[in-house]
Copies of this chain bind each other. A is one copy, B any other.
Amino acid sequence: MRITGTFIDEISHDIPHQNWGRAEWDADFAHMKAVGIDTVIMIRSGYRRFITYPSLYLQQQLGCYAPPVDLVSLFLELADKYDMQFYFGLYDSGRYWDTGDMQAEIDVNRYVIDEVWKKYGHHKSFKGWYLSMEISRKTKGAIHAFKTLGLQCKEVSNGLPTFISPWIDGKKAVMAASATLSKEDVVSIQEHEKEWSEIFAGVQGAVDAVAFQDGHIDYHELPEFFAVNKKMADQFGMQCWTNAESFDRDMPIKFLPIKFEKLRLKLEAARAAGYDKAITFEFSHFMSPQSAYLQAGHLYNRYREYLQTL
């Protein structure tokens, strides 16, 4: 299964920054294009005080820092140039994580959506929205937020598609900053189906695709979970994508590029389940020939060899 989309990890939570300028980003879009990537998703437009574009609103209302570069503009120009689709990831104020207050996230993003569409909506590559709140089954309060924000995104943009990328509450669902790699208390396939069916029902109409992160369960559990995900997506009229993580969750260094064999197992499982599209988190650190992690360049080569066998 070919990866046709990638997140762009600006602003990053937990992956150290590469400090690229325009020249490096331009080269990276070319590397993406060369392996068939047609979709780039800016993972979030801001996180707490760091933001990707000079929003007066966010600077004045939330004390955000003036960004040194307008990354939204940069990425849209490159997506225009390389004839790719750009998805805009919403802003994350951090308040939900601190206080459980999802309404604050909704309020600020209602403003952000309008501002961004006004400022950047004319780009031919602006093709969709990423509802950036990462949730799992225990975040059901998110249904209202996804519904509200997804509908607003579509409304302002003449119905451009939206998607979400939640995680499965499997054994590797541990915090990046924790010392452990796995946990004991994991979701069963039955609980997974029951709880996500509720969530899907709640966001229907506001979310066009769901791209579960594929790295929190063990490799031999992939077929079973992927089959259920596809069944639920079909039932609620969504596209079923896979978010194929290209970093390795099994190693003490959090995180370096994944072993190709593992990525292949995950892509093959998505193909077997009839998934609609594969995206990855993310190309520029973990699969790019110019990544600071040189393992990524070798992964790029192994992946190209794999493409020739498809």
Asked whether, in the complex, the Cβ of A68 is within 8 Å of the Cβ of B260, the reply is: yes
Asked whether, in the complex, the Cβ of A261 is within 8 Å of the Cβ of B181, the reply is: no
| B-contact 0/1 string along A29-40, CB 8 Å cutoff | 000000000000
User: What would 18 A/B residue contacts be, using CB atoms closer than 8 Å?
Assistant: A12-B251, A16-B248, A16-B253, A16-B257, A18-B298, A19-B257, A19-B260, A19-B298, A19-B301, A19-B302, A20-B298, A24-B298, A49-B220, A50-B261, A67-B261, A253-B254, A253-B255, A292-B293
Chain B nearest CB from A225 CB (Å) reads 16
- In the assembled complex, A73 has its CB within 8 A of some CB on chain B: no
Chain B nearest CB from A290 CB (Å) reads 9
Taking CB atoms, residues of chain B closer than 8 Å to A253 are: 16, 253-255
Asked whether, in the complex, the Cβ of A16 is within 8 Å of the Cβ of B49, the reply is: no
- In the assembled complex, A272 has its CB within 8 A of some CB on chain B: no
The interface on chain A, measured as residues whose beta carbon lies within 8 A of the other chain's beta carbons, has a size of: 48
| B-contact 0/1 string along A53-95, CB 8 Å cutoff | 0000000000101011000000000000000000000000000
Asked whether, in the complex, the Cβ of A256 is within 8 Å of the Cβ of B295, the reply is: no
A19–B298 alpha-carbon span in the complex (Å): 5
| B-contact 0/1 string along A278-303, CB 8 Å cutoff | 00000000000001111100110110
- In the assembled complex, A219 has its CB within 8 A of some CB on chain B: yes
Instruction: Give chain A's interface residues, CB within 8 Å of chain B.
Output: 12, 14-21, 24, 49-50, 63, 65, 67-68, 176-181, 219-220, 248, 251-261, 264-265, 291-295, 298-299, 301-302, 305
Taking CB atoms, residues of chain B closer than 8 Å to A18 are: 294-295, 298
Taking CB atoms, residues of chain B closer than 8 Å to A181 are: 177
Taking CB atoms, residues of chain B closer than 8 Å to A295 are: 16-19, 292
A185–B184 alpha-carbon span in the complex (Å): 27
Known: A256-B16, A292-B293. A305 touches B261 (CB 8 A): no
Known: A19-B302, A295-B19. A14 touches B264 (CB 8 A): no
A2–B102 alpha-carbon span in the complex (Å): 42
Chain B nearest CB from A111 CB (Å) reads 21
A295–B260 alpha-carbon span in the complex (Å): 23
Known: A68-B261, A177-B180, A252-B177. A49 touches B17 (CB 8 A): no
